[in-house]
Amino acid sequence: MSEPLLPPIGMLAELTHRCPLQCPYCSNPLELLKANRELDTQTWLDLFSQAADLGVLQVHLSGGEPTLRRDLEQLIAGLSARGVYTNLITAGVGVAEGRIVAFAEAGLDHLQLSFQGARPATTDRIGNHKGGHEKKLETARRARAAGLPLTINAPIHRHNIEEVPEFIDLALSLGAERLEIANVQYAGWALTNRDQLMPERAAVDRQAEIVAAARERLSGIMNIDFVPPDYFAIYPKPCMGGWARDAFMVTPDGTVLPCHAAQTIPSLSFERFGPRSLAEIWADSPAFNAFRGTDWMQEPCRSCDRREIDWGGCRCQAMAIAGDAAATDPACAKSPIHARMAMLIDEAQRAAAVPSTDTPFVYRRIGVVTEPA
């Protein structure tokens, strides 16, 4: 039996796909939306009001780079007026002086700042943006000066996994309350760049040991969240807490999705906010109900004692690797094709070992995706 439908408590709002960085691990879709496709201020405010009415308690303001929205202060204020907790997820480059203070005054509750590397050269190379590291450091200082709680987000992959100890030191030096060591998950641009981003198994094991030791050492000083890589897992993670179970996301044009990569499932059609209310989409959308709960599950998931722990894992990963969104997530050891994960890891290692260019990535850009030169 599936559990009764509960109201969502969390929402990810991708306000824009525009971004000054071009990170090759970005989870945004390959077909990035241009500025003229973005919802206007009033539509976002209406959407946020409906989200609060629906029961949403926290909204993560993301992108792209959300600070490129000139109305961001107004959007934060609208959420604050409804008592919704706001977390700004930013790359921290190009944020004008005084704007962090303006966000805090508008009611922002928390700032999450991403670093592509713990070293300046790594940050600049991965983001394809010179001088980005120093700009991020300044954003962190301004956030702390404005009294905002700070999380440092470290997206981990082959090219920065050995910098994990330095990420820990960096977060401590910036006065962060929280550090997220988030191994890249392969969707969007990260899937396109999978061979170049996939770390070696020994490096993943070392990373886990370093994080475990740091968690113990820094208990009560700084929280460290660890998001392990699915491809090296025994059991999958619940996608967004479970497909359409307690959270959802909205793209820049108002399309409402259960998760980042849901639009890669060709059998599903997703609705935009406006023609229908958020409440109607949450409760009645065929796409949201497609993998909600447990009734949709095939074996071995249907009879698995973990079915209400991981909620079937990632449907988009099943689509990408198994070719069937309803299949057991291949990250699970109980999947009949779990061995394919090890094969993909090995293929990535072989591909990465072949020298190509100094810039092996397909960098994230609005427009046609091209292969690296």
The answer to whether 301 is annotated as binding is no
What residue type is 306 in one-letter code? R
The answer to whether 19 is annotated as binding is yes
The answer to whether 304 is annotated as binding is no
What residue type is 122 in one-letter code? T
Tokens of 64: 């792209």
DSSP for 139-173, please give it: HHHHHHHTT--EEEEEEE-TTTGGGHHHHHHHHHH
Residue 113, beta-bridge partner list: 90, 152
d(CA 25, CA 116): 10
Q: Where are the beta strands (DSSP E) in 218-263?
A: 223-227, 247-250, 256-257
Q: What CA–CA distances, in Å, run from 174 to 60, 89, 135, 208, 222?
A: 22, 17, 13, 23, 11
Q: What CA–CA distances, in Å, run from 84 to 75, 139, 247?
A: 11, 24, 14
Q: What CA–CA distances, in Å, run from 65 to 20, 121, 255?
A: 7, 21, 18
Enumerate the known binding-site residues. Answer: 19, 23, 26
Enumerate the known binding-site residues for [4Fe-4S] cluster. Answer: 19, 23, 26
